[in-house]
Structure 1
Amino acid sequence: MRGWRKSTRSETPNGCVEVANSSLAIGVRDSKLRDASPVLLFSHDNWRAALGEIKAGRFGLGEPTRRPVWHDPVRAG
């Protein structure tokens, strides 16, 4: 995959995940490992569902977010 992007809300240079978009899937990898990282692949529908769950605070990550944590590559293009 190409076009890896990291969340602008990442607190450290390598303490986040990166997301890439292709016409077939959304890839997620560890920013510390970059090209050596395993890549999790999501369908576009499953990625949107996962973002909804994250934004709703359903993974024990604190309060629900008011702004997206991730740049949604499906909408970003």
Structure 2
Amino acid sequence: MAKRHFTTVRQLERNFKKFIGLSPKEYSNIIRFQNALATIKNSDENRSLIDIAFECGYYDHSHLTNEIRRNTGLSPSQF
């Protein structure tokens, strides 16, 4: 993305933070979390949490579970 906009990675990060208010990594984590949460809410009960975690880019189900608890204070089974 930096090459496409003829800038450095660091300059891109600074501009992203300036205009969006978050770093690109923080923004990416929020979007990934929202996608995972929507997938959990809209999936049938036969779908395992590990499948959802891998689909949404998490390393394993505990990584996803920790993100859900950190961001919502709830466990995945409460959704």
TM-score in terms of structure 2 length: 0.26
TM-score in terms of structure 1 length: 0.27
Larger Rg: 2
Q: Which has the higher helix share?
A: 2
Q: Which has the higher strand share?
A: 1
